[in-house]
A and B are shown apart, each in its own frame.
Chain A
Amino acid sequence: DAGVIQSPRHEVTEMGQEVTLRCKPISGHDYLFWYRQTMMRGLELLIYFNNNVPIDDSGMPEDRFSAKMPNASFSTLKIQPSEPRDSAVYFCASSFDRPGELFFGEGSRLTVL
């Protein structure tokens, strides 16, 4: 069975550029989460959706970050404009239940130069 699929796996970009990260959750999962992981701050929850509706975006660092979930099988996390301090691994995760077991994608490793 396909797990959570994220793309791109790696992205290197220059400061000021727009970055779009993509996620396909596991079919049938009602919850989708975006996390960011850095050495300094560990895993931080950015935003999560339930049935495609954003429930809690209090972890989104600032207006440069936005997330959408237009349908049950797709979500995006966008950073515009990107800054070097946004460099991190961004994980998407989905779950069937709340709080339930989270199934993570392999992550998108972002480097902003």
Chain B
Amino acid sequence: RKEVEQDPGPFNVPEGATVAFNCTYSNSASQSFFWYRQDCRKEPKLLMSVYSSGNEDGRFTAQLNRASQYISLLIRDSKLSDSATYLCVVSNYNQGGKLIFGQGTELSVKP
């Protein structure tokens, strides 16, 4: 079983739609959580950190459920420019804090 699992998609949604991505992690000792975004043939870039109480950054909302070992990302009012692959990332201090990436969920926003 992979340490971090995501639905690969692709998710095809119209502009203005709300879309949610889910991610599960297997290591209960995981302590830090992030969402990264990767555009086609580009490098990954940090989108947002995920905090225990949940956090919001504009149209993006991240949630963490430690009991279920589950992370989510919600994108409201999606834009064409949101089209990318979204990577769920988990870190465990017992593993030296290295970041473990999920395979990513591909999002395509259509006009």
Contacts and interface: CB of A to CB of B under 8 A. Distances in A.
A101 B32 CA distance: 11
Interface residues of A, number: 17
Contacts of A101: 34, 46
Interface string A23-65: 0000000000101000000110100100000011000000000
B98 A56 contact: yes
28 contacts: A33-B98, A35-B101, A42-B103, A42-B104, A43-B44, A43-B87, A43-B101, A45-B98, A45-B99, A45-B100, A45-B101, A48-B96, A55-B96, A56-B95, A56-B98, A91-B43, A91-B44, A98-B96, A99-B32, A99-B91, A99-B99, A101-B46, A102-B36, A102-B99, A104-B44, A104-B45, A106-B42, A106-B43
